[in-house]
Chain A
Amino acid sequence: MKKLNIMLSATVGFIGVAMAGQAAAAPSCGSNTGEAATGEPIIVGGIHGNAAPGDFSASTDAAAAYFSCVNANGGINGRPIDYRVENDQWNPELASQAAAKLVDDAGAVALVGNGSFMEMAVNAGTYAKANVMVMASACAISECFESSNIVSTNQGPLPSNLGATQYAQEELGATNVACIGLNIPNNGPWSCQPSIDLMKARGGDGSMALLNPGAPDVNSALLESIANGADTILMNLPAGLAIAVLKAAEEQDLRDSYNWIAPTPLYDLSVPEALGEYWDGKVWVNAELAPFHLNGADAQNWLAVMDSYANPNDPRDTFAQSGYLSARFFTDTMLAMDPAEVGDRAKVTDAIKSIKGLTSDLMCGPYYVGDSDFHMPNHAGYMLQMVGGGFKVVRDCYEFDSAYFEPHIALEKKLGLR
C-alpha cells in the first residue's frame, strides 16, 4: 500500500515525468573517477526526525544517495564516507542521544543533511562545544539559523515568509498581512515577526495568529486574522495545517476577499489536488530552492543521483534537493582540503567555516558559511502561483528585503560576495 501510495502521489508522478528526459545522464559526484573508494572511512553523521506527525528524512536520504555516489567515484581522495544517520523521532532525549552517539562515540568529522524540528534546538550547544559543524538541510527553527555551528541549505520559514510577504506587498496590493503560525516560540513568532516588520516598514500593517500544532480548530486563527483587519493571509504552517486553513476559508467563501500566500511547505505537488479547483490561481507560494521543473545542470544531476543511488520510494522534494546540496558542498569542501587533514574534525570545521561562493542552479545565491553566530546563506527565492493543478513561476530569483538580513549582508560583504 505504501508503495502504491507513493506511486499515486502527484509529486512523484510529476518528478517521474521530469526525470524521463534526464535519467539518461550519468550522475556526477565528487572526484568522478568511476572507481570505488577503498581507504579508511571518514565518519560523517546525519540526524533526521521521522515519526508521527511528520517525516523529515528526505534530506538525509538524498545526502546518503550523494555520498554513495561519491564513494563509487573515488570517495574523498580514496577514502569512502561512512554516513551514519540517526532518527530523533521528535523526542528531545533521543535527539540528544543521537548527537552524543555521532559526535562523541563515533567521532564524526561533521554532520550533513540534518532535518528536524527538534534536534537543532537540543544540540546547538553540543555542536559548538564539540567544535563540529552541521551542514543541515531541513531546518525550521531559530536555533538552526542563529547558532555558530549550524548552517543550512534550506531557508526555513523566516526568509520564505518574507519572500511571500514582499511579493504580496509589491504585486498583490497587500497592506495588512496576518501571519498564521505555530505557537512554538522558535518557529511561529520568530518567523512571523520579520514579515510584520517588513509590512510596517513599508507603510502597511501586520499581525500574527498562533495555532497549537495539534489544535483541531483552525477556524479561530482564520477569524482572528480577519478580526485584525488583514487583507492578506500568510499561512506559515506545515502543508496539512495550511490546507485546513484554506478549507476553513473555502467554507466561508473567503477566496476572493483576501490574498492567500505561503512559504515553501505549500510548494508540494500534492497540494493543488488536495485543495481542488476552488483555489486554482488564488494561492501564491514562495519556493526556497529551484522549482522542480527548472532543469538546471545541478537539478538534473540531483535527479540522476537519486535515480542511481536512492531508494525509488525516497521523496524527490525540496528537502531532498537541500540534502543533496549540503552533501555536495561538503564533498567539494573535503576534496579541496589537504588529504592528510580530512579525518581531523577541527580541520574539517575550519574548512567548512571557510566556505564561500559555492554555487548551484538549485539556489538563487551563493552558499557560504563564515565564522559567525548566525548562518542563513539562502535568503533569495522564487515566487510561484498555484495554477492548473501545478505551480508556475511568477517571479524569478529575487532577494528578500528585510532589516533581519543586515548582519548577513554585512558578512557577505566581508567575505567578498557582494
Chain B
Amino acid sequence: MKTKYINWLIYAVLMVVVVTWLGWGKPNKIIGMFFVSGLAVGSLYALGGIGLVVLFRATGVLNFANGAAGAAGVMTAWQFGQWGVWAPLTWAACILVALLISLFYGRMIAPLLAWREPVVKAVATLGFALIILGLVSFLWIDDPRSISLPTDKIGIKLLGLRVTATRMIVFLSTIGLVIAIYLFLGQTKIGLNMRALANDRDLSALIGIPILKVETIAWGLSGLIAGFTGLMFGDLIRLEPTVITFMVIPSIAAAICGRLDNLVVVLVGGLSMGVIESLLTLSPVLKGARPIAPFVIASLVLLWSQRGTQLTFGGRD
C-alpha cells in the first residue's frame, strides 16, 4: 500500500516537473489551452484503452480490431446520415455495427484460438482489423467527410479553451466507465466469472462457469465501447477509417500503462499521454517527438512498475 502511494506521489511530482519544464516562459493562457487540449485527446486514448482492458481482463485477448470496429460503425453512421436517416438512429447504427463486428469475432473466431498464446490471439485480431479496414476502404473510397453531433455546438471556456459538450461527454464517460466496470467486475456474478476466466480459463471451465456466455458478454461490452469510441473519434478527430483504426495504437499504450489490468491507471495514463503530447508542441526541439510520446510514457511506466515483478503479456507462454 505504501509503495502504491509513493508511486502516485512520484507520478504527481513528475507531471508537475514536465508541465513546468515544457511550459517554461510561456504565458499561462497558452499553457492552459494546450493542457486542456491535451486532456481532450488523452480522454480519447483512455476511452480506447478501457475498451481494450475490459476485454483483456475477461478473455485474455488484446483486441487490435477495436479501432476498426469503431471505424466501420462511424462510417455506417455517416452513410445513414447521407441517406437522411434520423441522427439518433445513425448513432445507434454506429454502436450496433461495432457490436456485431465484435460479437462476430468473439463467437466465430476467438473460440478457435482460445487455447493459443496471448500473442497469437492479439496478432489474429490485428489481421481481423486489417480485413475490416480493407472492406471499409473498399466501401467508402477516400473522400473528404465529416460527422457532427449536436453537442459540438455547446461549450464552456476552460483555461482559455472552449471545451464542447462532446468532449465533456467523452471525459465524463471515460471516468463513468471506469467506475461502472469496476463495480461490474467486483459486484456482479458475471463480473466475478469474467475475473475467474481471466485468471484461469481451464479451472473456470472445470467449476462450471459458462465460458461462452461470459466471453460473449465481454466481447459485447467491448463492441459497445468500440462503437461509442468510434463515434467520438469520428466527430472529434477525423472521419477517416485508417486514422480511427490505428487510434487503437496509442490506446494500447494507455492500456499498457495500466498493465492491461488497472483501469484507474489506464485512465490517468491516457490523460497524461494526451497532456504531455500536447505540451510537447511548445518545445521547438521536442515537438517532432510528439507521435512517440505515448509509447515512451508507456515504456517508462512499464519499466518502473515491472521492477522484477510480473509479466504484462504473460499467461500460458
Asked if A and B are interacting partners, one says yes
Q: How far is the CA of A120 from the CA of B164 in the complex (A)?
A: 43
The answer to whether B37 touches A217 (Cβ under 8 A) is yes
Contact of A227 among B30, B140, B148, B241 (CB under 8 A): B30
The answer to whether B148 touches A220 (Cβ under 8 A) is no
Q: Across the interface, which residues of A come within 8 angstroms of B34, CB to CB?
A: 220, 223
A-B contact pairs, 24 of them (CB 8 A): A1-B139, A8-B82, A52-B133, A52-B242, A53-B242, A55-B141, A216-B243, A216-B250, A217-B277, A217-B278, A223-B30, A223-B161, A227-B26, A240-B142, A240-B144, A240-B239, A240-B240, A251-B155, A251-B164, A268-B143, A270-B143, A270-B144, A274-B146, A276-B146
The answer to whether B288 touches A252 (Cβ under 8 A) is no
* Interface of A toward B, CB cutoff 8 Å: 1-2, 5-6, 8-9, 11, 52-55, 183, 209-210, 212, 214-221, 223-224, 227, 239-241, 243-244, 247, 250-253, 268, 270-271, 274-276
| Distance in Å: Cβ of B282 to nearest Cβ of chain A | 8
* Interface of B toward A, CB cutoff 8 Å: 26, 30, 33-34, 37-38, 40-41, 44, 79, 82, 133, 137-146, 148, 152, 155, 161-162, 164, 233, 237-243, 246-247, 250, 274, 277-278, 281-282, 287-288, 290-291
Contact of A212 among B26, B141, B145, B290 (CB under 8 A): B290
Q: How far is the CA of A86 from the CA of B311 in the complex (A)?
A: 46
Q: How far is the CA of A268 from the CA of B145 in the complex (A)?
A: 11
| Distance in Å: Cβ of A390 to nearest Cβ of chain B | 14
Q: How far is the CA of A54 from the CA of B137 in the complex (A)?
A: 10
The answer to whether A216 touches B238 (Cβ under 8 A) is yes
| Distance in Å: Cβ of A313 to nearest Cβ of chain B | 9
The answer to whether A214 touches B246 (Cβ under 8 A) is yes
Q: Across the interface, which residues of A come within 8 angstroms of B246, CB to CB?
A: 214
Q: With A216-B243, A217-B277, A220-B278 as given contacts, are A55 and B142 in contact (CB-CB < 8 Å)?
A: yes
Q: How far is the CA of A214 from the CA of B294 in the complex (A)?
A: 14
The answer to whether B243 touches A214 (Cβ under 8 A) is yes
Q: Across the interface, which residues of B come within 8 angstroms of A252, CB to CB?
A: 161-162
Q: Across the interface, which residues of B come within 8 angstroms of A270, CB to CB?
A: 143-145
Q: Across the interface, which residues of A come within 8 angstroms of B290, CB to CB?
A: 212, 215, 220
Q: How far is the CA of A213 from the CA of B239 in the complex (A)?
A: 14
Q: How far is the CA of A275 from the CA of B277 in the complex (A)?
A: 27
Query: Which residue of chain A has its CB nearest to the CB of B155?
Result: A251
Q: Across the interface, which residues of B come within 8 angstroms of A216, CB to CB?
A: 41, 44, 233, 237-238, 243, 247, 250
Q: Ordered nearest first, which 7 A-B pairs have the shortest CB separation?
A: A239-B144, A220-B281, A1-B139, A212-B291, A274-B146, A53-B242, A217-B41
The answer to whether B243 touches A253 (Cβ under 8 A) is no
